[in-house]
Amino acid sequence: MNFPDLLLPSTLLWASGFAFAAIIGWAVYSAPWRHLGNLGNLDLLNVWLGTCVTLMLLWCIKAGIKPGLNFHLLGATLLTLMFGPQLAIVALTVVLLGVTLAGLSGWHSFALNMLVMALIPVAVSHTIYRFVDRKLPNHVFVYILLNAFAGGAIAMGMAGTTATLLLGASNAYSFGYLLDNYLPYYVLMSWSEALTTGMAATLMLAYRPQWLVTFSDDRYLKGK
C-alpha cells in the first residue's frame, strides 16, 4: 500500500496533497499538545516519541511483489487509542517522514501514502471508538475486543480496500490482478494488525493504563 512515485496519475497526487494539507493543518491546530507537554506528563511525551520511532522501524519491515503492492503493519488504531486522532495523525506524519527520508517511500506520493496508511485508518479507528463509547456498555472487554482487535482489523481492511480501488481505477494494475493477487492478503494483514493492536492495548491496560487517553479506570473498571 506504500505507493512509489510515478505509479499513479499526477492529478491524484495533487488532489491528495491538498487534502493532506488541510487535514494535517487541522490536526496540528486542534491537537491536545498540553496533554504531552505538561511536566507531569513528561513520560507520556517520551511514549509518544518512542512510539513514532518504533513504527518507523515497523514500517520499514514490509513484503511486496510489485511496486505499490506491498504490506506492513500500520499501528494507526493503537496510536488513536493512545493519543486521540489528532496526535495520531501527527505521529504517523513523523513516521512516514522518517521512512521517506530513508529512501523507502517517494516524496511525490507522500500525501497519498498518508491518506491511505494513516488518515483513513485513524478516521475508521476513531469512528469505531466513538460508536462503541456511545452505544455499548463501558466494559474493559468491550474496549479491548471492539476498539483494539476489531478496530485494528477494520482499519487495515479499509486501507487495503482503498489502495486496491486507487490502483485499479488508475489502471496501474487491472482489477482482476488486484483481486486475485493483492486484496486477499489483507485478510491475513487484518488479523495481524488486530492481534498486534489487541495485545499491545491489553498490556497497557494491565500495566500502563495512563498511556491510553481513551481509557478511564472510573468508567471501565470501577463497579464492574
Q: What gap in Å lies between CA 136 and CA 174, rounded to an integer?
A: 41
**What radius of gyration, in Å, describes the C-alpha atoms of the chain?**
18
Mean pLDDT, the chain, integer = 91
Give the per-residue pLDDT at 104.
84
Give the per-residue pLDDT at 64.
76
Domain boundaries, the chain: 10-220
Give the per-residue pLDDT at 38.
57
* Global confidence as pTM: 0.93
Grid coordinates representing 47? 511514549
Asked whether 17 and 111 are in contact (CB, 8 A), the reply is yes
> Per residue in 136-146, pLDDT tens?
988 899 999 99
Asked whether 65 and 181 are in contact (CB, 8 A), the reply is yes
- Highest mean pLDDT, choosing among 40-49, 152-161, 180-189, 212-221: 152-161
The residue ranking higher by pLDDT, 76 or 69, is 76
The residue ranking higher by pLDDT, 101 or 42, is 101
Q: What gap in Å lies between CA 201 and CA 195, rounded to an integer?
A: 10
CATH topology of domain 10-220: Arp2/3 complex 21 kDa subunit ARPC3 (1.10.1760)
> Per residue in 168-180, pLDDT tens?
999 999 999 999 9
Asked whether 115 and 20 are in contact (CB, 8 A), the reply is yes
